[in-house]
Amino acid sequence: MPHQQRIRTEQTCTYLAGIRQPGKILTLAINPLMTPHLVNFDKFLLDNFEVEPSGKQVIDAEKLNEQQHACTEVAWRLMILSRELLQAVRAPVFDPGKILAIKATQNQDGHYAVRIIVPWFDHISTIPLQRAYQAANRVFMAVAKNGTEPRNVALILQQLLDNFIKQTYKMVPGGESTVPVLANAHHKGIPFHHIGKGTYQLGWGKQARLVDRSAVDSDSVIGSRLSTNKGFTATLLEQAGLPAPQHIFVNNEQEAINAAQRIGWPVVIKPVDRERGEGIVVDIHDNNRLLHAYREAHKLSPGVLVEKQVAGVCHRIYVSNGEVLYANSRLAKSVTGDGIHTVAELIETANNTELKKLPWRRLKSCPSDQEALLSLKQAGFDMSSIPAEGERAPLRRIEATAWGGASDDHSDNIHPHNREIAIQAAELFGLDSAGIDLITPDVSVPWHNNGAIINEVNFAPLLGSHRTGFKLEGALAQFIENHVPGNGRIPVEVFVGKKSVPAAIDCQKSYVGKGIDCFMTSHIVNRYPTGDEIHIAAPNLFGKCRSLLMNRVVEALVIAIDSDEFLATGLPIDSINQLTIIDEEIAHAPETGEMENSDRFRQLLRLLQSYIVEPVQDNPE
């Protein structure tokens, strides 16, 4: 029967066995008696995660006996579910991994040790990885015991939220857009690895770029800092001749009253340095509401702005590399009418729809509180109103992260003048990736004709959400295309054998002769394109290769392998354009363990061949 999963981790994050993401090796303890429950577990996966356990990858599957095959079926399903759970906590794990080996455990308890390699990343604790597999195993046990009855499934999903998602989420660095951005890169075949604090390198060498959510390495640090302060942002926009908010910075309640009287009603209260709509109150027409809003904003920030309210809706215009990728109106939380049901009924239906989703993917509930009633009243509705088909009944005055919201795509009808000032604002702040918030009654009308203003300039704007499944597919694809050349790769050629270095040097010279800055590395010899020696502070060939792949002047890389080191470390690359075997004599690295020379060469060759994207070449001599 299922049992508490025992998991062992080993190895640094590396490429092994043909997987296309850097990975880590785990060992699972699996009992083949778990297989009768596979049908129910498959139903659970399909009904709740919309995935099927197809495409199982097992090395030497033809050599396994019946019980071992049974264990691979269980292990593969745990790998599938763990991948989904890890994405839910911002880990960009897209491949399930591969099953490497299976053997009976020494204690003869009927369990098998199933050795797998699964995607994972440097500089991220392995605790989330281990927790994901433990959680997946608990789910398997719960399904095996109680089936897929709705009540049991609801309990399982809630426990996943409480005991895995909430407990693990902050252990994986990143943001809402991290997984969608990297998923798009992975789909395009762009290699990536984590360099720390949620920042990933996409591509190799000269083609490499750094991304953090939707921020890119060419974004100005100064611009990103200025954009976090609404006061500085407005001042800079105004100085540049762009339409900016009219506001006054205030330090106390009396200053807030004076500012409102000076600007004129209605006004907006904003904390000066908060994001996601926190603390913002609109439609302030009197001192009582003003002071209440000021006090709430002051709790969030020592600095508060009193701002002149302008007519219109906030539109997020996303600028990438000097190009507008989308323009969306950011609408308040609302329900959409069908001409049949009341607002109260629409709220109930919307909330019931969300309850059918995974708990961690649900949108904010549609409220029916006093604030919702006030918003409805201002729009001419109440709970018994029946909105026309397609008509929105607002439950909040503005869109904010705390409440959620809706959006409409206006990318095709944004006026060229509005597009122009969005690009100009991004350039003003030195941001190659920026979200420009334009408040306008109609984004198809030029800003200078309807009193529109640029309300905010946002660093690292949302491009998608791993949590809700929200994606801007076209914008994501264009974002990657704008910032990562091609598939982000450089040519990599590998030579193997005791005499591989001279051949590798000749290959390097051939690249250099074509005007390509090709670098060469081996266990001993490391060369610039000029032929001068490179000094690299790395303990082994794996580290040397990694350092050169992070060097943005490297246009091609030639690697000479004369030892079996990679059997211990794995590969630093996930594709080889050309593999040339010079001879079958390679030195022995102590960390690879004892084995015959022929076996060492054969295993090394098998590892290298699993990453070839062009045919192998034997020594032409």
Q: What is the pLDDT averaged over residues 170-197?
A: 95
Closest CA to 513 of 526, 501, 530: 530
pLDDT of residue 614: 66
Split at pLDDT 50, 70, 90, the class of 436 is very high
How many residues are recorded in the chain? 621
pLDDT in tens, 304-361: 999 999 999 999 999 999 999 999 998 889 999 999 999 999 999 999 999 999 999 9
Please identify which residue in the block is written with the tokens 């029946």. 386
Measured torsion, CA atoms of residues 444, 450, 454, 460, in degrees rounded to the nearest 10: -20
Q: Are residues 334 and 473 in the same domain?
A: yes
Q: How far apart are CA 183 and CA 558, in angstroms?
A: 29
Q: Which of 290, 308, 326 is the last residue of a domain?
A: 308
Q: What is the distance between the alpha carbons of residues 27 and 117, in angstroms, rounded to a whole number?
A: 9
Residue 11: pLDDT band (50, 70, 90) is low
Contact at 8 Å (CB) between 436 and 317?
yes
Residues 524 and 407 in one domain: no
Please report whether residue 459 resides in a domain.
yes
Q: Within a domain: residue 205? A: no
- Tell me the average pLDDT across 570-578: 96
Contacts of 254 (CB under 8 A, 6+ apart): none
**Rounded Cα gap, residues 256 and 307, in angstroms:** 10
Rg of the Cα atoms in the chain: 29
- Higher-pLDDT residue of 397, 369: 369
Domain boundary among 448, 483, 518: 483
Asked if the structure places residue 218 within a domain, the reply is: no
Q: Which pLDDT band holds residue 433 (cuts at 50, 70, 90)?
A: very high
- The CATH number of whichever domain residue 261 belongs to comes to 3.30.1490.20
Q: Give me the amino acid identity at 608.
A: L
For residues 448 and 507, membership in a common domain is answered with no
* Predicted pLDDT at 399: 78
* Gap between the terminal Cα atoms of the chain: 59
Residues 497 and 478 in one domain: no
Determine the pLDDT at residue 3: 47
DSSP 165: I
Q: What is the pLDDT of residue 4?
A: 46
What is the domain-level CATH number for residue 418?
3.30.470.20
Give the angle 173-175-178 at the CA atoms, nearest 5°. 95
Q: In this predicted structure, what is the pLDDT of residue 469?
A: 52
Instruction: Please indicate, yes or no, whether residues 44 and 95 belong to a single structural domain of this protein.
Output: yes
Lowest pLDDT segment from 140-149, 339-348, 457-466, 574-583: 457-466
Q: Let me know if residue 181 belongs to a domain.
A: no
- pLDDT tens digit sequence for 34-47: 888 999 999 999 99
Note the pLDDT of residue 408.
Answer: 87
Q: Are 405 and 399 in contact (CB under 8 A)?
A: yes
Give the 3-state DSSP-derived string for 115-137, with helices as H, strands as E and coil as C. Answer: EEEEECCCCCCCHHHHHHHHHHH
Residue 229 covered by a domain: no
Whether 40 is in a domain gets the answer yes
pLDDT at 1 (0 to 100): 38
Q: Judge whether 195 lies within some domain.
A: no
Q: Do residues 550 and 591 touch, judged by C-beta distance below 8 A?
A: no
345 and 290 housed in the same domain: no
* pLDDT (0 to 100) of residue 2: 42
Check residue 168 and give its pLDDT: 97
Are 121 and 89 a contacting pair, CB within 8 Å?
Answer: no
Residues 457 and 335 occupy one common structural domain: yes
Q: Which residues constitute the domain of residue 417?
A: 313-483
Whether residues 45 and 135 share a domain: the answer is: yes
> Are 34 and 77 in contact, with CB atoms under 8 Å apart?
no
Least confident piece of the model among 4-8, 18-22, 44-48: 4-8
The pLDDT value recorded for residue 343 is 97
DSSP 164: I
**Residues 432, 328 share a domain:** yes
Average the pLDDT over 161-184 and give the result.
Answer: 95
Based on the domain organization, do 479 and 503 belong to the same domain? no
- What CATH number is given to the structural domain containing 588? 3.40.1190.10
Query: What gap in Å lies between CA 27 and CA 604, rounded to an integer?
Result: 22
pLDDT at 467: 59
Cα 130 to Cα 138: distance, rounded to the nearest angstrom: 12
Q: Which two tokens stand for residue 100?
A: 């490497």
CA–CA separation, 303 vs 262, rounded Å? 19
Of 483, 505, 526, which one is at a domain's C-terminal end? 483
Whether residues 420 and 470 share a domain: the answer is yes
Q: Are 600 and 564 in contact (CB under 8 A)?
A: yes
Gap between the Cα atoms of 286 and 282, Å rounded: 12
Among 370-379, 400-409, 437-446, the range scoring the smallest mean pLDDT is: 400-409
304-308 and 267-271: which strand pairing? antiparallel
Give the pLDDT of residue 85.
98
pLDDT at 621: 47
> 102: closest CA among 110, 114, 94?
114
Residues 322 and 471 reside in one and the same domain: yes
Q: How many whole angstroms separate alpha carbon 17 and alpha carbon 270?
A: 54
pLDDT surpasses 90 at 303: no
- Return d(Cα 271, Cα 229) in angstroms, integer: 9
Name the amino acid, one letter, at 18.
G
Residue 199: pLDDT band with limits 50, 70, 90: very high
From 347-356, 458-467, 515-524, 535-544, the region with the lowest mean pLDDT: 458-467
In a domain, 193, yes or no: no
Query: Mind spelling out the 3-state secondary structure of 62-92?
Result: HHCCHHHHHHHHHHHHHHHHHHHHHHHCCCC
Among residues 331, 326, 273, 332, the alpha carbon closest in space to that of 435 is found at: 326
Taking all residues of the chain, what is their mean pLDDT, rounded to a whole number? 91
Q: Are 464 and 180 in contact (CB under 8 A)?
A: yes
pLDDT exceeds cutoff 80 at 214: yes
563 to 132, 326, 506, 601: CA distances (angstroms): 36, 51, 20, 9
499 Rama sector, left if φ>0, alpha if ψ -120 to 50, beta otherwise: alpha
- Rounded CA-CA distance 117/19 in Å is 8
User: Which two tokens mark 187?
Assistant: 């789909």
pLDDT of res. 60 = 87
Strands 578-581 and 492-496: parallel
* Number of domain units in the chain: 4
Per-residue pLDDT, 110: 78
Q: Using CB atoms within 10 A of its CB, is residue 473 exposed (0-12), middle (13-18) or buried (19+)?
A: exposed
Cα-flanking dihedrals φ and ψ of residue 175, to 5°? Answer: -145, -170
